[in-house]
Structure 1
């Protein structure tokens, strides 16, 4: 039967399938060589990479071949067997070859940036085509790459031409074409219904697992699973049990629950004395890994201004970001909320009126703002912040082109953003009200471009230059602020949104979530270092504590200076793996109700698998499940 089918027009599918797995194998081999030092020298693991990889390549091919199947089904015999028709087949194959080669090149650059196959980041990027295409155009030699891809695809076509045009010995009627087509189309349906890319999680080494994946197939899985229902995919406990667990941690000397409802975490936070109406300026810095600072051992000296400010202010040395994207950092810094699975709350629908730092301070008489150097429609920032207690000021507020020294697809240079910020703060001061403003920088992002002559590293040469330029811009901003009448009454908070890279051998490499935070206010805060474990979601309540603000709270974060060491914990995540780090132990919750436990080396943050820790597992489930519950039932809302 198969021999007869391969003697028909459907043999073209075999040619394209062989090309799919050949390109996929070569892509995997190149990425394997690039990441060889990160892979355990285990023959079985290496075999698994390529065998499971072949399986994933085959599953992907069932979808990729659908247009060919439909074409071979619908074209009548009288057209298919015309000599001129072979040129249509050449064109179809050339298009398929070009797409596959283009994808292979794209996977190389995506792996180089994120050390992973396509994932939810790629899905997000698909939405914002203007910024993403602009970023790619500014970062890579696109014209040369496209020419190279087309030339290579043509060469492949010339090599396979004789197989494509080879005479088909069996004509096949529409009836039998339909039968074969139904069988072939059933395959992607079965893969969609029952298949998954979960087979690639065969190894504890995350590099090995990612190498065994297929980029296109993983992209589809990420697209489908971009929103994950916690109760459906993760291990759960009863609603009463989870809220009982988290509410125990919220009991403190200065807090009192407002309701006896089992699902309410609303409580009154009271500080003795008057509210301190200091201005609060939070600079959330794009991709500022802790490892960039000399405090964490960096020897490149690319953050001289931040290093100096760290010595002059309050430095947090054991702070961890909640996620791997800017929107996760913004979520933590505004909502003080654990990173629930799937997309960040910043980008979800119906995210208006959430309990936010902006809403709290606005209710306390503050002017509250969010400043961004790009256009705030990106990542839904304009909508989220404007509907959660902030006035949004973005790139469109800079109307004088003389105020722009440089800009790329992401926005104006950081120094120009800070110039806009200073003008905004001068205007705020005239209102005779305290102000809270969050600034989101953009320059430390590929293509790593900035004005020439500012630092000793040329623009567009890599991450180190971008970090040093952002450091320069922050230093200049602080110096510009010193002469302002509002400076001595202002607390500056400099914190990363996330690390530059979260890739590692394990699913959640803790070290790659460690970020710096500096609280600088020479007239208010004495220089010191806080070494206690801190989560990014602890920052909003901690800052409110510094301001001595008494308020009604729904925050999941703690005022870290009023929290016993035994209660401190951190949340780290990808879009589907949820980590709970406490007392040198880590719990990871994953889909399919999977729970893993690890010991964490406090020196180098390496992890060792251990048996389940029931108490810690219960806490992890309780925090993530209760946060998801409150969002889903719209109970995390701000009420004046």
Structure 2
């Protein structure tokens, strides 16, 4: 039996070496997130990853044992072929999962999770989110991995022995002991509790924690875990305490202290800008020259300087803007039937006040279940790529210029007062639209290039809109659907990544507010309450939001990311990672009282958010 055990040991060593190489690759491709991190901390990532590597190896060999154990009692060629095929499949799967995780971390700051897997129903859109060059490079990396480790596997293949010649006792002992050892490795050892993701969480740097978390193990855990929660994963405190803290932070007044509109029932136009971040908005302290038209528009409107996205996906921002419902760390309510259709809707409230409604998008509006959500929210008309002839398109739909032009034509037929949303798309990843705006080269410049294009289209659209009969009576809100890690390679959890532009302009805005700024902290979820309060319409059905123009309301910005949240106000800023159970970003470490106050408020909000999310099924 020595050859069997020797081969098994060599295969285990091969898998462990493969996982180490893949961890190096993950860190190498994420090098921009390692700035300021010591080599000692990076080495700790490898050391903390070893138990999970061993667990993943145990699972792979346990699967292979389904064929290896019968081979001890049979000379069947089919068994041997199946055994080798299983090992080959494990190597190929591991290589593919490794490069998928590299791509996911680059875009979302996560490894494969249930939210990412839910996008597999949209393969074309998933492929469209990555440039051809980037995808080719990742596939090349996966291919080289496969060739190298399959070559090593072939070199150590020692299973040509006829084990039937070995004593029966030795074969029986091996048949019992081999799967048992695999199972022991898979659970992480003989300790009471099996291995979990928390074993990989050791650092305040998420990139090191994710590197330590074995990709194959994470995929297995993600696919077998329950699809939804059986209990609230964020139960930080007694319900009474959470509700008390939430009530203190969401005090509602009778109406806004500041009126921003000249008329009682203005038209409402909401323009959502794909992936715009404050880092490319000069009036917000961002790069100069990227959004000159937006800078010009700021002189005609009121700019919020402390506005944050609720999440990092379009559907999260959309759901917060229409339903006032915050994003969730590991799920997306817009794709959950029986949940999203029970959300409140600013569209329905406006409809009861005589408003008509339209939604404009130049791509596939069914992506991420958006069409079903918009229909459930009560939109009168939803326009997508099939609504008008398209001359030029990106992977995500028609160019923004064509979308804006279509709106100018269609809005002439709209019954007033109206509520309309325009959702742009040209500045979506992978930022490969062949527009030439003067930015060349790096990923950061590719991003700046497409944002500059959308900015130019936005300026031209609003200049044309001013000559339309509806403009003088229209309040226009311009906001990003979410931020982006580019152009400065920000981590997914950071406050800076979630800080986005929010501008109020249009003919219905009071003249004395033009060219002003507002330092109130807020996020997407505040839009329904703020808008309806200005229109003197009921808004109690939106408990998560606050009226941005109410001086008596405590104002905070709140966002979530994968298993964590961030919260900020005028005194402090806190980012909390639930896996490591620690604060991983803070604005001012000397303000400990404000840190604890915001941390408790954020925990209470997340706990009640998941309570409400789960209640929708009941």
1:50 deviates by: 0.9
CA contact 1:38–1:505 (8 Å) conserved in 2:
no
Task: State the distance in 1 between where 2:50 and 2:476 align.
Answer: 52
Cross-structure match for 1:231? 232
Map of 1:268-347 to 2, 5 A cutoff? 276-299=264-287, 301-347=289-335
Q: Distance in 2 between matches of 1:149 and 1:231?
A: 37
Distance 2:83 2:221 in 1: 30
Indicate the residue corresponding to 2:69 in structure 1. Answer: 73
Instruction: State whether structure 2 residue 406 is matched by structure 1 residue 420.
Output: yes
Q: How far apart are the structure 2 equivalents of 1:211 and 1:149? A: 17
Q: Which residue of 2 aligns with 1:438?
A: 421
User: What CA deviation, in whole Å up to 9, does each residue of 1:526-584 have, x standing for no partner?
Assistant: 2211112222211222222333435554332111111337x111112113212332343
User: Counterpart in 1 of 2:551?
Assistant: 563
The answer to whether the 8 Å contact 2:109/2:491 transfers is no
Give the equivalent residue in structure 1 for 2:27: 32
TM-score (norm 1): 0.82
Task: Assess, with a 3 A threshold, how the Cα gap between structure 1 residues 180 and 344 changes in structure 2: closer, same or farther.
Answer: same
* Structure 1 position 512 matched with structure 2 position 505: no
CA distance in 2, matches of 1:38, 1:318: 28
Equivalent in 509, 521, 538 of residue 524 of structure 1: 509
Cα offset, 1:515, TM superposition: 0.7
Deviation at 1:52, TM superposition (A): 0.9
* 1:488 matches 2:484: no
Determine if the alignment matches structure 1 residue 18 to structure 2 residue 18.
no
Q: Does structure 1 conserve the Cα–Cα contact (< 8 Å) formed by 2:305 and 2:501?
A: yes
Post-superposition offset of 1:126: 2.6
Aligned residues: 602
Report whether the alignment pairs 1:128 with 2:122.
yes
- In the aligned structure 1, how far is the partner of 2:327 from the partner of 2:175? 48
Q: Which residue in 2 is equivalent to 1:497?
A: 481
Tell me whether 1:371 sits opposite 2:356 in the alignment: no
Q: Secondary structure at the match of 1:549?
A: coil
Alpha-carbon distance in structure 2 between the residues aligned to 1:377 and 1:96 = 34
Deviation (angstroms), 1:253: 4.2
Query: Which deviates more, 269-278 or 281-290?
Result: 269-278
User: Counterparts of 1:98 and 1:251 in 2: how far apart (Å)?
Assistant: 55
Tell me the CA shift for residue 65 of structure 1.
3.6
**Deviations 1:139-198, CA, capped at 9 Å, x for gaps:** 337567656754663454344423114644744768556524642563477469832111
Cα displacement string for residues 427-451 of structure 1 (whole angstroms, at most 9, x for unaligned residues) = 21xx3x3111122222222232335
| 2:49 alignment counterpart | 53
* 1:280–1:436 CA contact under 8 A, matched in 2: yes
Are 2:447 and 1:463 aligned? yes
Tell me if structure 2 keeps the 8 A contact 1:254–1:269. Answer: no
**How far off is 1:49 after superposition?**
0.9
- Cα distance in 1 for partners of 2:134, 2:359 equals 34
> d(CA) in 2 for partners of 1:353 and 1:87?
52
* 3-state SS of 1:562 partner: coil
Q: CA contact under 8 A between 2:473 and 2:507: conserved in structure 1?
A: no
RMSD of equivalent CA atoms = 3.9
Unmatched segments (≥5 aa) in structure 1:
256-267, 602-606
Partners of 1:348 and 1:38 lie apart in 2 by 36
Structure 2 equivalent of residue 259 of structure 1 = none
Q: Map 1:84-483 onto structure 2 (within 5 A).
A: 92-120=86-114, 122-136=116-130, 139-140=132-133, 146=139, 149-150=142-143, 153-165=146-158, 167-168=160-161, 170-171=163-164, 178-180=175-177, 182-183=179-180, 186-187=183-184, 190=187, 194-222=194-222, 224=225, 227-228=228-229, 231-239=232-240, 241-254=241-254, 276-299=264-287, 301-350=289-338, 351-391=340-380, 393-399=382-388, 403-428=389-414, 431=415, 433-450=416-433, 452=435, 455-457=437-439, 462-483=446-467
Structure 1 SS opposite 2:568:
strand
Q: Residues 447 and 62 from structure 1, CA distance in 2 versus in 1: closer, same or farther, beyond 3 angstroms?
A: same
TM-score (norm 2): 0.84
Tell me, yes or no, if the aligned pair for 2:301 and 2:515 is still in contact at 8 Å.
yes
Structure-2 change in CA distance of 1:251 and 1:100 (3 Å): closer
Q: What is the alpha-carbon distance in structure 2 between the residues aligned to residue 510 and residue 141 of structure 1?
A: 27
Say if 1:288 and 1:498, in contact at 8 Å, map to a contact too: yes
Which whole-Å deviations, capped at 9, do the CAs of 1:573-627 have from their partners, x for residues lacking one? 11321233234334556557946597524xxxxx679589665454334333333
Cα shift at 1:514: 0.7
Distance 1:308 1:446 in 2: 26
Residues 1:227 and 1:548: Cα distance change in structure 2 (over 3 Å)? same
3-state SS of paired residue (1:324): coil
8 Å contact kept, 1:323–1:339? yes
State how far apart, in whole Å, the 2-side matches of 1:451 and 1:398 are: 23
1:545 pairs with 533, 538, 551, which one?
A: 533
Deviations 1:364-388 (A, max 9, x none): 1111233222222211111112112
Q: 1:252 to 1:506 in 2, by over 3 A?
A: same
Query: Distance between the aligned counterparts of 2:519 and 2:260, measured in 1?
Result: 26
Report the Cα distance in structure 2 between the residues aligned to 1:247 and 1:159, rounded to whole angstroms.
61
Superposed CA deviations along residues 481-524 of structure 1, whole A, max 9, x for unmatched, are 22221111112211111111299888832122111111121452
CA distance in 2, matches of 1:132, 1:353: 28
C-alpha distance 178-85 of structure 1, shift in aligned 2 (>3 A): closer
Structure 1 SS opposite 2:116: helix
Q: For the structure 1 residues 142 and 49, does the alpha-carbon distance in structure 2 shift closer, same or farther, using more than 3 Å as the test?
A: closer
